[in-house]
A and B are shown apart, each in its own frame.
Chain A
Amino acid sequence: MSSCFQTLSDYGLRSIGYGERLLPKADITLCEQFVLIGSGMIWNIYFAILALLLGFFFATVLALGKNSKLPLFSSPCRLFIFIFRGSPLFIQFFFAYDLFVLLPRLGFNIDLGFLVVTVETRWLTKAWLGALIVLFFNTSAYAGEIFYGALRAVPSQDLESADAFGFTGIKKFRRIIWPTMLRLAWPSYTNEAIFMFHATTLVFFTGFPAWQQKGDAIYYASYFADKTFNPFVPYPIVGFYFILLTLLIIGLFGLINRRLNKHLPTNERKRLRFNKYNLIR
């Protein structure tokens, strides 16, 4: 058992470059597999949380744009959503990586006041930024479509009441349209969040290199499956971690769902029952 604590301190943060440099090669123990794959989950969580957080706002913009009457706004949003929803994420990763590689290697100095950061285009070819951008665009497109559908479904009475109470512009959107849109979209958006977490497993199988063997959960799982030639241990471990994560997301999104439905009379409140039967992906 104490050796497992040793493994934990050696490999617990291996995926972000701390601890033992060499991966276990021979006599791989169950503990090592659990720890290293768990360590890889850091990357999956990093990608998914940042992509979802940023994507949430961009998706709202895309949904509003697509709903706009002006073709100047609606056409680019439509095109963006079409491109990212119409093609496989796997190909998007390859395409983006190969484009980023072709970019000239430049550095820009950005003065933050207290320190100067050099932003390099080279970063785009690294998974932490390049893959994150692809995931961000991808989830924005899917969530944008979900929000657009919800926006179209906002009851017209709500809008009329808003008008009657003198709500206009930003205030009408922030107080009336946006909360209702979110409430209607939430079950589908929960699905999107779950599948975004799942989609992060693709990153290190595409062009983006796992530098110094710093990879995600499935990168280490396939490493172990290759080394031990036994798929029956590492892949179920990944499955276990992702089931935990999925339950966590469902719990968290359920809480938000409760908040979104708080104003409704108790008999009309719906528990979060996401739409298993019509997956928008």
Chain B
Amino acid sequence: MFSYCVDPKTLEGIMWLSCYVTTAKHMSFYFSFLVVMGLLSLAAPLAMAFGFAGATASRSTFKIIRSLGKGYLAMIRGIPDIVFFLFIPIALDQAFEYLRHKVLCSDVTEPIRQGNDFVVCAAAKLPLNTASEWVHDIYGFSLALLAFGFVFGAFAGNVLSGAMAAVPKSQIETGEAYGFSQSQIFRRILIPQMWIYALPGLSNLWMILIKATPLLFLLGIEDIVYWAKELGGIKTGVYEYPHPDWRAWYFGVLMIFYLSLTYLSQSVLDKISARLSQGQATMAGKAG
């Protein structure tokens, strides 16, 4: 980074440190903080979409759709989220490859599952073996994102269905009395009124989502946890910047990062909640 960093062995003190924290690997470490932010900003709307679909399905008049929706919302309470984080990316990957194999290589007769192997033809591989590194990265990240969307969608679905149930019955009956159709009632009365009830639950969910982001590490993504482990480990003399075991320091930095993120979020959310509760006939935004 700096011109004097050519031979780090001769440096000392603050000069050494300034070179150390600007190595290429450290730049990847800093970039991974952006990956966390990217995941947060993409996973939140995706989870809302999943949650909205789940909550709507659980109110459906069709029994099959209703039980599917209810099952989706209930499942997250019984099964640890880590199970989904481990299961969904690999299951989706295999499902995609299986489908592509069936379509693209219909002439191959050998079974896909051979003992302990999952064999698809080269053309069905996702991403293709010839694809460049960044395609692999994006693919892995997208699978992880889907897993986050699915898990947090179920949490959000619980919040939203609770909020929908909290909208006073009389509001809906009034809509019916004025001759609104069911979908009109849903769009014009239920949805606009439910947000104030959903807000506290969604705020908590946002905090839970923030605290779930380091689980990206489990999905094989080079995230902040990966880099903290990588950079903090003991570096012997063969490395350019030898140092003892500094992992505690690196994870200390991650602790501070997350503490400031949650602290900041909490103060913003408190402001929003105070704002939205103004003039509402609720006990300052109390959810159902």
> Contact residues of A with B, CB < 8 Å?
26, 28, 82-83, 85-92, 94-95, 98-99, 101-102, 194, 197-199, 201-202, 205, 218, 221-222, 225, 227-232, 235, 238-239, 242-243, 246-247, 276-281
Q: For residues 60 through 104 of chain B, which have their beta carbon under 8 Å from a beta carbon of chain A?
A: 77-83, 86-87, 90-91, 94
Does B241 sit within 8 A of A, measured CB to CB?
Answer: no
- Tell whether, in the assembled complex, residue A277 and residue B163 are in contact, meaning their CB atoms are under 8 Å apart: yes
- Tell whether, in the assembled complex, residue A235 and residue B225 are in contact, meaning their CB atoms are under 8 Å apart: no
Chain A residue at smallest Cβ distance from B254 = A91
Residues of B within 8 A of A85 (CB): 262
The 9 closest A-B pairs by CB, nearest first: A277-B162, A198-B80, A243-B78, A98-B248, A95-B251, A235-B87, A88-B211, A98-B247, A86-B262
The interface stretch among B20-28, B198-206, B274-282 is B198-206
Given A94-B251, A230-B113, A238-B83, 20 other A-B residues pairs in contact with their CB atoms under 8 A: A88-B214, A89-B211, A90-B215, A91-B251, A95-B252, A95-B255, A101-B245, A199-B80, A201-B80, A205-B218, A225-B86, A229-B116, A230-B116, A242-B78, A276-B159, A277-B159, A277-B161, A278-B200, A279-B205, A281-B204
Chain B residue at smallest Cβ distance from A250 = B77
- Tell whether, in the assembled complex, residue B245 and residue A102 are in contact, meaning their CB atoms are under 8 Å apart: yes
- Tell whether, in the assembled complex, residue B118 and residue A230 are in contact, meaning their CB atoms are under 8 Å apart: yes
Q: Tell me the complex Cα distance, A267–B87, Å.
A: 45
Does B8 sit within 8 A of A, measured CB to CB?
Answer: no
Residues of B within 8 A of A243 (CB): 78-79
Q: Tell me the complex Cα distance, A101–B233, Å.
A: 12
Q: Tell me the complex Cα distance, A251–B214, Å.
A: 32
Q: Tell me the complex Cα distance, A57–B229, Å.
A: 34
- Tell whether, in the assembled complex, residue B87 and residue A247 are in contact, meaning their CB atoms are under 8 Å apart: no
Q: Is the interface of A mostly helix, strand, loop or mixed?
A: helix
Does B117 sit within 8 A of A, measured CB to CB?
Answer: yes
Residues of B within 8 A of A98 (CB): 232, 245, 247-248, 251
Residues of A within 8 A of B228 (CB): 94
Chain A residue at smallest Cβ distance from B208 = A281
Q: Tell me the complex Cα distance, A258–B157, Å.
A: 29
Chain B residue at smallest Cβ distance from A244 = B78
Q: Tell me the complex Cα distance, A201–B81, Å.
A: 9
Q: Tell me the complex Cα distance, A281–B198, Å.
A: 16
- Tell whether, in the assembled complex, residue B258 and residue A88 are in contact, meaning their CB atoms are under 8 Å apart: yes
Residues of B within 8 A of A95 (CB): 248, 251-252, 254-255
**Chain B interface: which size bin?**
35 or more
Residues of A within 8 A of B197 (CB): 277
Q: Is the interface of B mostly helix, strand, loop or mixed?
A: helix
Chain B residue at smallest Cβ distance from A194 = B77
Residues of B within 8 A of A194 (CB): 77
Does B168 sit within 8 A of A, measured CB to CB?
Answer: no
Residues of A within 8 A of B215 (CB): 90
Does B128 sit within 8 A of A, measured CB to CB?
Answer: no
Chain A residue at smallest Cβ distance from B73 = A276
15 contacts between A and B (CB under 8 A): A87-B211, A88-B214, A90-B225, A95-B248, A98-B247, A198-B80, A201-B80, A238-B79, A238-B80, A276-B158, A277-B158, A277-B159, A277-B197, A279-B155, A279-B159
Task: State which of A90, A91, A231, A242 has its C-beta within 8 Å of the C-beta of B80.
Answer: A242
Residues of A within 8 A of B80 (CB): 197-199, 201, 218, 238, 242
- Tell whether, in the assembled complex, residue A225 and residue B90 are in contact, meaning their CB atoms are under 8 Å apart: yes
- Tell whether, in the assembled complex, residue A228 and residue B83 are in contact, meaning their CB atoms are under 8 Å apart: no
Residues of B within 8 A of A82 (CB): 259, 263
Using an 8 Å CB-CB cutoff, how does the interface string of B232-249 with A read, 1 for contact, 0 for none?
100000000000010110
Using an 8 Å CB-CB cutoff, how does the interface string of B113-142 with A read, 1 for contact, 0 for none?
100111000000000000000000000000
Q: Give A26 Cβ to nearest chain B Cβ, in Å.
A: 7
Does B212 sit within 8 A of A, measured CB to CB?
Answer: yes
- Tell whether, in the assembled complex, residue B79 and residue A242 are in contact, meaning their CB atoms are under 8 Å apart: yes
Residues of B within 8 A of A247 (CB): 78
